[in-house]
Copies of this chain bind each other. A is one copy, B any other.
Amino acid sequence: MTVQRIHNFNAGPAALPLSVLEKIQASFLDFNGSGMSITEISHRSSYFDAVINDAIDRAKTLLKLDDNYHVLFVQGGASLQFAMIPMNFLGQNDTADYINTGTWSTKAIKEAQMQKKSIQVPASSEDNNFSYIPQNIQCNPAARYVHITSNNTIKGTQFATFPQTNGVPLVADMSSDIFSRPLPMEKFGLIYAGAQKNLGPSGTCMVIIRKDFMETANDNLPSMLSYATYAAKNSMYNTPPCFGIYTIGLVLQWIQQTFGSLEKMAEHNTKKAGILYDLIDTSDFYQATAQKDSRSLMNVTFRLPSEELEKQFVAGAAQKGLGGLKGHRSVGGCRASIYNAATMENMAALTEFMASFEKENG
């Protein structure tokens, strides 16, 4: 049976590498000779131990992590992390800095404030509709951490470099750009990422946490809301999201086998986004919405001359097998999400369509 696949530019859940999907499909009734589906094997079995440890090892290799970091798998998405981070790290006399670069940062701030935690916002790009990443941020040297959203899916901006914090650990929501580029890990105390953009299916959140930072966490928390629980039990205090962790391992293996390193992955992503921004910048028809120095390599947001044309653009693209190009419902416009799994073929199909749509309607 021939399968018709679309060019998938969804913001998340997003496209996964076809070879990963094919591998899951092929072994879905019999994982690794176990006679069981990956969804049916015990998390206390040697089969699953190999799965979870493989995913962790690949994450550590790609990010060049030493043994000072735990790689954990937590459920509840980035949204539960918004609550867990202040819960774990802000005691009565503590304060943290939150840099506000859009919808997700705003939600992270709200979940800390709802818990009556003391937080400050030393920088925000709200004054210009979150179209840029603030520079030269003065962080509080007494803050427990500085929280950032490394890539902003809705507004199409991304931290190209990370703020100077004078040793205060960065805590970063990297749901939409984890493993898209190498990271200066010495700056980070904690990185979290919902899997459904660059890593795997929804329902698993990867948390990378520096051990010395973790050891400063509050210890009077419900088990499932304490990072220490996950670290002590290799993320298996209770049954983990096995299928998600398995898929994440396969995606990381795909990065290693296809690109070799995050440096090469970043080159590929820069090239992909460049193709699209070049087309937009040389056109009077398409307008990029993010400021040039703040543009995301993962989510390219743009407008057409009218909302009517944007509607036609999205509908026309769908007819040609190009999906997910509608902007987030809160901002409108158009958006192409081109995470790690987006291929050069996807980019060629998109730019070809954009050029012809401009020709017909420009």
- Map CB proximity to B onto A46-81 as digits: 1 under 8 Å, 0 otherwise: 000000000000000000000000000001111110
Is A21 within 8 A of B39, CB to CB? yes
Given A196-B239, A202-B239, A243-B203, does the pair A6, B21 have CB atoms closer than 8 Å? Answer: no
Is A25 within 8 A of B21, CB to CB? no
Which residue on chain B has the smallest CB distance to residue A34? B6
Is A39 within 8 A of B25, CB to CB? no
Is B42 within 8 A of A10, CB to CB? yes
Which residue on chain B has the smallest CB distance to residue A329? B44
Which residue on chain B has the smallest CB distance to residue A48? B13
Is A239 within 8 A of B37, CB to CB? no
A332 interfacial by beta-carbon distance below 8 Å: no
CB-contact partner of A36 in B6, B79, B239, under 8 A? B6
Given A111-B222, A201-B242, A203-B241, does the pair A29, B25 have CB atoms closer than 8 Å? Answer: yes
> Which residues of chain A in 204-242 are interfacial with respect to chain B, using CB atoms and an 8 Å cutoff?
204, 220-225, 237-242
Is B240 within 8 A of A202, CB to CB? yes
Is A29 within 8 A of B3, CB to CB? yes
Interface size class of A (residues with CB under 8 A): 35 or more
Q: How far is the CA of A80 from the CA of B220 in the complex (A)?
A: 15
Contacts of A293 in B (CB 8 A): none
A247 to chain B, nearest CB (A): 7
Is B8 within 8 A of A40, CB to CB? yes
A16 interfacial by beta-carbon distance below 8 Å: yes
Which residue on chain B has the smallest CB distance to residue A45? B10
> Which residues of chain A in 297-321 are interfacial with respect to chain B, using CB atoms and an 8 Å cutoff?
321
- Map CB proximity to B onto A64-101 as digits: 1 under 8 Å, 0 otherwise: 00000000000111111011000100000000000000
A284 interfacial by beta-carbon distance below 8 Å: no
Contacts of A33 in B (CB 8 A): 4
Q: Which 9 A-B pairs have the closest CB atoms?
A: A203-B241, A6-B35, A83-B222, A75-B75, A79-B238, A39-B201, A25-B28, A202-B239, A80-B224
17 example contacts (A-B, Cβ-Cβ < 8 A) are as follows A4-B30, A6-B36, A10-B40, A10-B41, A12-B239, A14-B40, A21-B28, A22-B29, A25-B25, A25-B28, A39-B201, A75-B80, A76-B80, A77-B239, A79-B223, A196-B239, A203-B239
